[in-house]
Amino acid sequence: MLNVTALYTGILLVMLVVLSLYVVRGRWSNKVGLGDGANEDMLKRMRTHANFIEYVPLALIGMYLLEVTKHGAVILHVLGIALVVARLLHAYGMNRRSPNFGRAGGATLTLVILLVEAILLILVWFRGLGV
């Protein structure tokens, strides 16, 4: 059963809905129907949402593959909690003057999560070879 990945997928889907509504609210308040309308607020909102979309699906796929290859719940929860924290930090930081800890910390933590998943998945392949 994929209980751990399902939990974090659910949490992150809620976050995606919140970020989507954040973009929609920006469109209404800035009167921008398509694109960013050369509006810095809209650009920040759109990039916050887009960055989430660019990184979270692959991180969840990595978690899924780790779970189906029988990695323990502890490592999966560590990765899941870290991903939620990373994405919250990044979203918070995108609305602050740059550079800031939220944006940089969230982005860095996301990359670390992806790298850890990549290494663990590559090790799965080597284990399959009997190495």
Range of lowest pLDDT (30-34, 40-44, 102-106, 108-112)? 30-34
pTM summary value: 0.92
pLDDT tens readout for residues 29-43: 988 888 877 888 899
- Work out the average pLDDT over 87-98: 93
Total structural domains in the chain? 1
> What's the mean per-residue pLDDT of the chain?
93
1 has a pLDDT exceeding 70:
no
Q: Which domain holds residue 70?
A: 3-128
Residue 42, domain CATH: 1.20.120.550
Please state the rounded mean pLDDT for residues 71-87: 97
Q: How far is CA 111 from CA 24, 32, 105, in A?
A: 28, 32, 10
Residue 131 has pLDDT above 60, yes or no: no
Mean pLDDT, residues 41-59 taken together: 95
Say if CB 61 and CB 117 are below 8 A apart: no
Give the whole-angstrom CA distance, residue 96 versus residue 117.
29
